[in-house]
Chains A and B, each alone.
Chain A
Amino acid sequence: MTATTTAPPTTLSVRTAPQPSNRLRAWATRAPLLPALVFMIVVTQLPFVATVVISFFDWNSLYPKARHFTGVDNYTEVLTDADLRHSVWTTVLLTATVVLVSLVLGLLLALLLDRRFRGRGVVRTLLIAPFLVVPVAAALLWKHVLYNPEYGLFNGLLHYVGGPQPDWISRTPLLAVEASLVWQWTPFMMLILLAGLQSRDQQQIEAARVDGASDWQIFRYLTLPHLRRYLELGALLGSIYIVQNFDAVFTITSGGLGTANLPYTVYQSFYQAHENGLASAAGVLVVIGSIIIATFALRVVSSLFREEVSRA
C-alpha cells in the first residue's frame, strides 16, 4: 500500500523541565487518538467480522434451531441464484452508468463554471442544490412529481409538444433510477472537478497561450492531464457511494422490475426473507467489490495527499 508515506519530522518538540520517560511520553502523544480509534474498530470492524462468520451458516431467523455450518454454500447460492446474480449485474450497471454520466456532465459544467460570466455564483448555487435534497425526498420527487404518467411534469411538458405519454418507471425502470441519481451526483462531480480546474498552474497556461497554443491544445495537453487524478477521485468516490445506494432503489421501484441492487437484496433477504446466512454472503460480496474500488481510491487520495503534505 502506498499509505506508508514517511511522515515529515515534526518540528514541534515542546520540552518541559522534568523529562518523563520516553514510553510515557509516547503514550501521552497517542492518548488523544485512542478513543476515536477504539470506537471505530468496535463499531465498524467487529460487525463486519460477525457478518463474515454468519455468511458460513445456513441460518433462517424464523427457524433458529435449524442453524448450522454450511461452508461456502451461501456464496455458491448467491453466485448461482438467478435473481441474486441479476442483482450483482444490476449493481455494476447502475454504478457504472451513474458514475460515468455524472462525471461527463460534471466535467462539462465545471468547464463552464471555470470561466468568468455574470452570475457565476448564482449558477453554482443552483447547480449544487440537487445534491442538497434529502436522497429519499429526491427519489420521491422523481417518482411522483416528475415520472407520474398521468400528471408528472415530464409528461405534462411532453403534452405541450404533442409528444407521447410514457409510463417512465415501468417502461425503463433502471434508467428511471439512474436518471434521478445522475441528477443528484452530477453536482458532486462538478465540485470536485471545479476544485481541480482551479488548482491548475495559471502561469503555465499563460505561457502556453503566449506560445500560440489553441484552447483545445491547452485543454488536451495541460488541463486534462492535470484533471486526471480529480476525474479518478470523482469516479472512485462516486462508485463507493453509489455501489451502496439503497434510497433511490427502495423509493422509486422498491427493488422491483429488475432494479434490485446488492444493498437492496441484502436488506430484503434478511429483513423480509429472514435468510441471515444468504444476506451475509451477499454483504461480503459487496465488501469485496468495494475493496477493489477502494484500493484504487486510496491510492489516488494518497497521491493527492502526499502532494499537499510536501507543499505544506
Chain B
Amino acid sequence: MNVLRRNGLGLLAWLLGIMFFLPIAWMALTSFHSEADAATNPPSFGAALTLDGYRDFFGTGGGASPWPALVNSLVASVASTLFVLLLALPAAYALSIRRVRKWTDVLFFFLSTKMLPVVAGLLPIYLFAKNTGTLDNIWLLVVLYTSMNLPIAVWMMQSFLAEVPVAVIEAARVDGARLPTVLARVVAPIALPGIAATALICFIFSWNELLFARVLTGVVAETAPVFLTGFITSQGLFLAKVCAASLVISLPVLAAGFAAQDKLVQGLSLGAVK
C-alpha cells in the first residue's frame, strides 16, 4: 500500500511536470514544422520537420532581420549586468564584511526601491529622454536596467559575502596580506559561485524587460522582446515563425536559468530564502 502510494505520487509529479512543460515542447515541435503543418486542426504531431520557420525568422525569406534586436538585447543585458556588479560588489562589501553602521536599514532601502513599480517613474524618464535626445538609445536602457537589478544584486551578494568567515579574513590580514590580496585570495574563491549566479539572474531580468524598452526605444535600439511584439497581430500562416522566434529569444534565458538553478530562489526572493 505504502509502496503503491509512493509510486502514485511520483507518477503524479511526473504527470504535472510534463503538463507544465507541454506548451514549451509543443512550441519547439511547431517551430520545426512547415507553416501549413503548423496550422492544422487536429494538430499534426508527426508532420515532416523543416528549418523553414527559423529561416523565416532570421529574415532570409524577407522581413526584418532580428539580428539588430538580438545584439541590442545582448548589449543591454551584458553591459547592465557588468555595471550592476561594479556597483553592487563594493556596496555588498560595506554591508557584509566591513559593515557600515545601520547596515540593515541600508539593505532595506535597496529592497524598497525594488518594490516601486516601473510605471511610477516611466513618464518622467520618457520626458527626460526626449529632452536630452537619448530616446532610442540603448545606453539609456543600460542605466535603467542597472537600477532595476542593483537591489537584487546587493541583497544576494551581501548574503554570499557574509558567508566568508571573518576569522579567515582576519588571519590573512594578521599575516600581513593587503586588502586586494585578501579580496582576491580569500573572499573571491568563496563568493564567486554566488556572484556568478547573481550575474545570471540580472542578465535574465534585463533580457526579459519589455515596458521600458517598448516606450524608450524605436527602430535603432529595439530589443528582442520589442521585436517579438511585432508578432502580436496575426500575419496569416506564421505559427512556425512565431515559435522559432519565441524559442530563439528565450534560449539565453533558459540557459542562464538552468545554470543558476540552485540560486534562482534566492535571487527571486531577493535573498530572503536560501
Q: Do A and B bind each other?
A: yes
Q: A10-B99, A117-B13 are in contact. Are A286 and B108 (CB under 8 A)?
A: no
Q: A4-B105, A132-B257 are in contact. Are A12 and B243 (CB under 8 A)?
A: no
B67 within 8 A of A: no
Alpha-carbon distance A183/B231, docked complex (angstroms)? 21
Q: A136-B210, A192-B268 are in contact. Are A29 and B98 (CB under 8 A)?
A: yes
Chain B 17-29 interface 0/1 with A at a Cβ cutoff of 8 Å (1 = within): 1101101101100
For residue A115, which residue of chain B has the nearest CB?
A: B9
Residues of B within 8 A of A266 (CB): 119, 122-123
A207 within 8 A of B: no
The answer to whether B26 touches A153 (Cβ under 8 A) is yes
Partner of A290 from the list B13, B102, B115, B159 (CB cut-off 8 Å) is B115
The answer to whether B123 touches A279 (Cβ under 8 A) is yes
The answer to whether B23 touches A183 (Cβ under 8 A) is yes
The answer to whether A141 touches B23 (Cβ under 8 A) is yes
Q: A5-B104, A150-B41, A151-B39 are in contact. Are A39 and B87 (CB under 8 A)?
A: yes
User: What distance in Å separates the Cβ of A13 from its nearest Cβ neighbour in chain B?
Assistant: 9
User: Which residues from 220 to 274 on chain B have a C-beta closer than 8 Å to any C-beta of chain A?
Assistant: 224-225, 228-229, 231-232, 234, 238-239, 242-243, 245-247, 249-250, 253-254, 257-258, 261, 264-265, 268-274
User: What distance in Å separates the Cβ of B92 from its nearest Cβ neighbour in chain A?
Assistant: 9
Residues of B within 8 A of A44 (CB): 113, 116, 121, 147
Alpha-carbon distance A271/B218, docked complex (angstroms)? 13
The answer to whether A40 touches B113 (Cβ under 8 A) is yes
The answer to whether A12 touches B166 (Cβ under 8 A) is yes
Q: Which segment of A74-82, A123-131, A170-178, A218-226 sits at the interface?
A: A123-131
Partner of A129 from the list B122, B231, B254 (CB cut-off 8 Å) is B254
Residues of A within 8 A of B239 (CB): 144-145, 148, 151
B74 within 8 A of A: no
A214 within 8 A of B: no
The answer to whether B170 touches A51 (Cβ under 8 A) is no
The answer to whether B13 touches A312 (Cβ under 8 A) is no
A17 within 8 A of B: no
The answer to whether A54 touches B124 (Cβ under 8 A) is yes
A208 within 8 A of B: no
Residues of A within 8 A of B208 (CB): 134-136
The answer to whether B116 touches A129 (Cβ under 8 A) is no
User: Which residues from 258 to 310 on chain A have a C-beta closer than 8 Å to any C-beta of chain B?
Assistant: 262-263, 266-267, 270-271, 276, 279-280, 282-284, 286-287, 290-291, 293-294, 297-298, 300-302, 304-305, 308
- 6 inter-chain pairs at a CB distance below 8 angstroms, sorted by A residue, are A46-B124, A48-B120, A109-B13, A132-B257, A183-B23, A195-B269
Q: Knowing that A137-B225, A243-B117, A246-B211 are A-B contacts, what are 14 other residue pairs whose CB atoms are under 8 Å apart, sorted by A's residue number?
A: A10-B98, A26-B101, A36-B110, A43-B143, A48-B116, A129-B21, A133-B24, A156-B41, A233-B272, A262-B119, A267-B119, A267-B214, A283-B120, A291-B115
